[in-house]
Structure 1
Amino acid sequence: MSRNWLGQQERGSLLLMRLITWIALNIGRPATRLLLAPISLYFLLFSGKARQASRLYLRRALAREPGWADVYRHYFCFSATILDRLYFLSGRHTLFDIEVHGVEPLLACLRRGQGCVLLGAHLGSFEVLRTLAVEFGKVPFAMLMHTDNAHKMNAIIDSLNPEMAGSIIAMGSPDGLLRAKEVIDAGGIVGMLSDRVRPGDKTLPCRFFGQDAALPDGPLAFASITHAPIFLCLGLYRGQRHYDVHFELLAETIDAPRARRREAIHGYLQQYVARLEHYCRIAPYNWFNFYDYWQAGQTE
């Protein structure tokens, strides 16, 4: 099994992805959702490594041995959020019933002109945040993310939402962190999915479902440099057209002497992982890291 998620090839041809996008946007969501069952069944049968990783995770999240139906449901949930991503990107958020929890502290920061860091994860859908654009107002926004293994999906994003594509800052780019800090300094939001390790990342061990997993310390190190408030943000898919968006304040700021900064970051990173575990138990089929999460990054 691949120890690195970047080693997983992006499945599906760009032509097929564009065809599904056309069907989704022109025929409609109810009809397009009929494709999810055969797509999920295909991956259940023919993606052995991902299927094994799904079982490893579900065994922990469900606290029992997962069956084929559980793995299928895991794939189906993933497929559903990928489909819905097309509607969020194209501004069709009125198709969904979205309940937002805990956003007021974030809005209070933005009203004060204080920039914020949002830590997400491959848990549910981060794109559902687009539905809160009106509440966020005209604040600068950037998404600091890995783009190395999603060129086809990025091409779809470019075509559906050029404005959003322009807000993506590639992780590891020479001026990436500087551009992200400029967004914070302007009172804006920088979002990061903070649950995956990239080769070369510095990592810290965190207890996740009773076993150590390596997580990158970079997102929280960035937040400590900017002195910005840090919020956890997750958009959980709850079936059909329902999403629950959860915001939680993780830290007003990471303010520690240089000698103890890494120790402080470790504490907040463990807090972040503990909340991920909490939400994984609430919505276990929303976890979309289809590789051995407890082995990946251990030697980085």
Structure 2
Amino acid sequence: MPSWQGKSKGNKLGYRIFIGVLRYGGVWPAYFLLRFVALYYCIFSYQSTRSIYLYFRQKLGYGRFRSLAGIYRNYYVFGQTLIDKIVVMAGIPNRFTFEFDGEDNLHGLVSGQSGGIMLSAHLGNWEVAGHLFTRLNAPINIVMFDGEHERIKSYLQGVTGGRSVNIIVLKDDLSHIYAIHDALSKRELVCMHADRFLPGNKTVDAQFLGDTARFPMGPFLLASTFRVPVAFVFAFKETATHYHLYATTPKTYPSAKQGGVSESVGDFVGAMEEKVKKYPLQWFNYYDFWSKD
């Protein structure tokens, strides 16, 4: 069965075309062009299309026609979030509005004495949320796999002026653990996804949408090891120009020996499932998330 390989799709030419349209025509012409791109992926990206179809059909219980229509709508919304990310990060004029639900929770996380961890997933538009969290007036560190193709990444950094946060890259030598510890010791915020893993990573099983799925153990083990407050953060596109951001009340989990990992996994998966059911089109894991392989 297909699994996530730690790399994003797309190529430099595709990014160049959309960024050119955004600069000279704005968001709406880019959205129009996206309609054809979404159709292309529906037809020619078999593995991801099949995975999204099974997500709608088996996990959400949609009928066949609704599931097929959901594939195209999912690709289209995903493309919109990528365009929106570039618009916001590059400072291109736009009419986007944002609603924060639980922003006080994040300010409480910042004002604490120990730093904090923000966990999210590949739902909605995390990049837009991460960019806007700079208003918290606190150093933000984002932990990620360095899986983007270097040419695309360097091109985007040239367009957006680079990221406004510190990036901690996951490495085999575990140097990222020391970087995370250093950031938390300085009372900074550490953000990471907690829904994907690469082959060979330690995982933990949890019931998600009625079936067993595997989640990376690392983020939850870090939360239990460092014993700092943890908040779950998501951002969803509700209309063409409006985003809704969510942040849960920070919670400090006990050590792993005291069940901290299983408790944090349960809380995170519960929050994740709630948001998936509310925003079903904004599930952006294009592989067999429930694979037993």
Output the TM-score relative to the length of structure 2: 0.91
Show CA shifts across 1:12-52 (max 9, x none). Answer: 33133223222223321122111111011111111111111
Q: Which runs of 5+ in 2 are unaligned?
A: none
Specify the alignment match of 1:179 in structure 2: 179
Matched, 1:53 2:54: no
Specify the alignment match of 1:274 in structure 2: 270
Matched, 1:140 2:123: no
Show CA shifts across 1:238-261 (max 9, x none). Answer: 131111100013x522223x533x
Change beyond 3 A, Cα 1:203–1:242: same
Specify the alignment match of 1:128 in structure 2: 128
Change beyond 3 A, Cα 1:23–1:43: same
* Greater CA drift, 172-181 or 192-201: 172-181
Letter matched to residue 133 of structure 1 = T
Q: Which runs of 5+ in 1 are unaligned?
A: none
Specify the alignment match of 2:16 in structure 1: 18
Provide the aligned length of Structure 1 versus Structure 2.
289
Change beyond 3 A, Cα 1:277–1:187: same
Deviation at 1:94, TM superposition (A): 5.5
Letter matched to residue 270 of structure 1 = G
* Greater CA drift, 104-113 or 198-207: 104-113
Show CA shifts across 1:54-79 (max 9, x none). Answer: 01111255432242221111111111
2:124–2:237 contact (8 Å) kept in structure 1: yes
Specify the alignment match of 2:159 in structure 1: 160
Listed as ranges, the matches of 1:237-248 within 5 Å are 237-248=237-248
1:117–1:190 contact (8 Å) kept in structure 2: yes
* Greater CA drift, 210-219 or 94-103: 94-103
Change beyond 3 A, Cα 1:116–1:156: farther
Output the TM-score relative to the length of structure 1: 0.89
* Greater CA drift, 73-82 or 62-71: 62-71
Deviation at 1:291, TM superposition (A): 0.7
Change beyond 3 A, Cα 1:272–1:102: same
Partner secondary structure for residue 248 of structure 2: strand
* Greater CA drift, 263-272 or 139-148: 263-272
* Greater CA drift, 15-24 or 72-81: 15-24
1:157–1:165 contact (8 Å) kept in structure 2: no
1:101–1:245 contact (8 Å) kept in structure 2: yes
Specify the alignment match of 1:169 in structure 2: 168
Letter matched to residue 51 of structure 2 = A
Matched, 1:290 2:286: yes
Change beyond 3 A, Cα 1:18–1:173: farther
2:60–2:209 contact (8 Å) kept in structure 1: no
Percent identical pairs in the alignment equals 24
1:61–1:280 contact (8 Å) kept in structure 2: no
Partner secondary structure for residue 37 of structure 2: helix
Give the Cα separation in 1 of the matches to 2:16 and 2:118: 30
Give the Cα separation in 2 of the matches to 1:93 and 1:121: 28
Q: CA RMSD in A?
A: 2.1
Give the Cα separation in 2 of the matches to 1:44 and 1:25: 27
2:115–2:184 contact (8 Å) kept in structure 1: yes
Give the Cα separation in 1 of the matches to 2:103 and 2:58: 29
Give the Cα separation in 1 of the matches to 2:278 and 2:290: 20
